[in-house]
Amino acid sequence: MRDDTRRWIEADKKHCWHPFTPQQAWAESESLVLVRGEGAWLWDSEGRRYLDGNSSIWTNIHGHN
């Protein structure tokens, strides 16, 4: 894992609350850091590509930017 990715994960776990997420399991798991999106595709900090199967559920609930 890249150092900058690890720093983002540490800052996230220290300063952010993720609603609707079981906190203990989240704190004990390795986080996914998404760095880019194009259409329905997302890329993580390790270069892996994911299909956004939730149809941007969080942007619909909390606002689209």
Residue 37: pLDDT over 80: yes
CATH classification of 3-62, choosing from 3.30.110.60, 3.30.1330.10, 3.30.460.80, 3.90.1150.10? 3.90.1150.10
Mean predicted confidence (pLDDT) in 15-25: 82
User: What DSSP state is assigned to residue 31?
Assistant: P
Q: Is the pLDDT of residue 55 over 80?
A: no
Measured between alpha carbons, how far is 30 from 48 in angstroms, rounded to an integer? 15
| Mean pLDDT score of the chain | 81
Q: Where are the domains of the chain?
A: 3-62
